[in-house]
Amino acid sequence: MLVSPPSFKKGGITNHPVGVPMVELPRGNIIEERRGGAGILSTLVNEMIKLNSSGYIRTERTPPERMPRVGQLIVTRGEVSAAIHEDKAILEGVEALVEIEADCLELDCVIQLIEDVDVQRILDLHHTAILSVEAPEESKSSQWWQDVSNRKNAWTKSSKLPTIEATIEAPEFVKAKA
């Protein structure tokens, strides 16, 4: 018989049955806990990037009569470093990131921002989960304003308008006035 540990929502680590292998990262300090929804994951990631912090964002969904869906998004010194997700199988890297984003859109998802953990140890243990993210700012010139043209987009008046020849003769009363 499977025994359930304390619920994730009540401060426990997981709410999956004991004996079922799940990817669990070291405990840290829970800085923030939110319910899922549109834009919540990006908000939490942007907060960590702005603060240049290290830690991970843990997501958990428990659909009825199914295994829990647990994901971790690791952030190192303000950069998204790795992603791990587990449902029926353990996914790492970009595939895990896609599943984490999908889970975070659901309202029954619990999202925790966790700091004060040894992020380098996590990356060493899960080296296949590391994401290679290219910053678009680095690939382009840092002095983008030098590529902008100085051409003026102003209307210039022609000194003399071209003459238009009439293709149809004017009526007699117009010719009489001219």
pTM summary value: 0.63
Structure tokens at 67: 């295994």
> Which DSSP helix (H) or strand (E) runs through 75?
strand 69-76
| Average pLDDT over every residue of 38-49 | 90
The DSSP output letter for 137 is H
Residues in the chain: 178
Rounded-to-integer distance, Cα 125 and Cα 100, Å: 20
SS3 89: coil
Q: Which residues contact 19 (CB under 8 A, 6 or more apart)?
A: 2
Structure tokens at 27: 């405990």
Residue with tokens 């958990």: 60
Distance separating the N- and C-terminal Cα atoms of the chain: 108
pLDDT value at residue 174: 80
**For residue 79, what are the β-bridge partners?**
76
Structure tokens at 63: 């659909």
Asked if pLDDT for residue 79 goes beyond 60, the answer is yes
Structure tokens at 96: 């895990």
Rounded-to-integer distance, Cα 55 and Cα 73, Å: 9
Which alpha helices (H) appear in 18-93, and where do they start and end? Answer: 40-50
Asked if pLDDT for residue 74 goes beyond 50, the answer is yes
Q: Among candidates 123, 8, 9, 128, which has minimal Cα distance to 55?
A: 123
The DSSP output letter for 19 is T
pLDDT 10s digits, 87-127: 888 999 999 999 999 999 999 999 999 999 988 888 888 88
pLDDT value at residue 148: 63
Sheet harboring 79-86: ordered strands across?
Answer: 29-35, 110-115, 55-61, 69-76, 79-86, 90-92
pLDDT 10s digits, 141-165: 566 666 666 555 555 565 666 677 7
